[in-house]
A and B are shown apart, each in its own frame.
Chain A
């Protein structure tokens, strides 16, 4: 499958020709970054996988019914991430988050990242600290940081969040400051393991 094909071209090949390999290429391009975004947004790998799977299946469903249409001026990635963001907010934030503190996840629910084989104790501690610091950000700021860490540009963040560019930039600025502050408060000034 040529790397040069756009995401939308791959989706149309999948829909029009039943080209499974086209979908496979598209899926491999986006799946890890997408679930990483949802993981940072939700603070839970289980929720991230659930939302991710739901969104991919919705896309496949639309192809099965011949309903997928590229939106002029909007990238496939923005479309996918918007689906994920909306699903997370509708399913988890609105339905289940009402009893929690504001728009923040309950820290007791935040999953600390599993220790990787090569991790030092310091690296593991910093990952856990980062997970907690992320969880304490307001949803809107956490959203922007999650998008940024998935490699989404500011322009696409504007599309996905439906917020003005300056608002997106401000959210990112304040979120970054809070994350750095969370590290600094524990005497951590370097993020290296």
Chain B
């Protein structure tokens, strides 16, 4: 039997340990609280409508939580990044938004945005944690294998494209589901 009296904490050492950790960052807190705010709103709406629990779950499935992390500007292929309000959605993406692919997709493609000079792709897992980001490039498609992206195990992924021209905005997120070959 271990004598617990022998291991009573050294308060000074504990104080030093607590000083070492700086606490959470603003970005961390914002990501969590934004997701919570979004889910709280969905739960309130569902409660008002009296929806059954399983449907509430469906409506608030994982991608919605993940999307709450980021304040994305979605915009049209015809929109100009150089200024003004950006609205609309891009539909011409490969793989199809929400589609399924067998194994890691070979290619990601998006519609060129007039005014955008460079693009960078980021793939996130179903918790919206980044799995891989490309280098900045001019093309509006990328071969994942050639660009050194990791092989993706089956599951849901989100991907976004950052587009830059003086200011920076983001396409997406789009989703694809990797299925076993």
Contacts and interface: CB of A to CB of B under 8 A. Distances in A.
Interface stretch (B57-65, B89-97, B115-123): B57-65
Interface in A152-193: 154, 166, 169-170, 172-173, 176, 179-180, 190-192
Contacts of B56: 64-66
B16 A35 contact: no
A35 B65 contact: no
A113 B128 contact: no
Interface stretch (A20-28, A73-81, A101-109): A20-28
A191 B16 contact: yes
Interface stretch (B33-41, B79-87, B136-144): B33-41
Contact of B24 (A14, A49, A127, A190): A49
Given A58-B127, A114-B22, A169-B2, A53 B32 contact: yes
A54 B33 contact: no
A49 B4 contact: no
B91 to A, nearest CB: 27
B12 A192 contact: yes
A116 B20 CA distance: 10
B50 interface: no
A19 B39 CA distance: 10
B32 A60 contact: yes
Interface residues of A, number: 55
A64 B65 contact: yes
A86 B71 CA distance: 29
Contacts of B66: 57
Nearest to B15: A191
B146 interface: no
Contacts of B61: 64-65
B7 A52 contact: no
Interface residues of B, number: 52
B135 interface: no
Q: Taking chain A's interface residues, is the majority helix, strand, or loop, or is none over half, making it mixed?
A: helix
B181 interface: no
Contact of A113 (B7, B22, B42): B22
Interface string A128-159: 00110000000000000100110000100000
Contacts of A65: 56-57, 60-61
A31 B26 CA distance: 12
Contacts of A27: 29, 32-33, 36
Interface of A: 14-20, 23-24, 27, 31-32, 35-36, 39-40, 45, 48-50, 52-54, 56-58, 60-61, 63-67, 113-114, 116, 126-127, 130-131, 145, 148-149, 154, 166, 169-170, 172-173, 176, 179-180, 190-192
Interface of B: 1-2, 4, 6-7, 9-10, 12-25, 28-29, 31-33, 35-37, 39-47, 53-54, 56-57, 60-62, 64-66, 69, 127-129
Given A49-B24, A56-B35, A191-B16, 20 more contacts: A15-B43, A18-B41, A20-B36, A27-B33, A27-B36, A31-B32, A32-B24, A35-B24, A49-B28, A50-B129, A52-B28, A53-B32, A63-B39, A64-B39, A64-B43, A64-B60, A64-B65, A130-B13, A176-B9, A192-B12
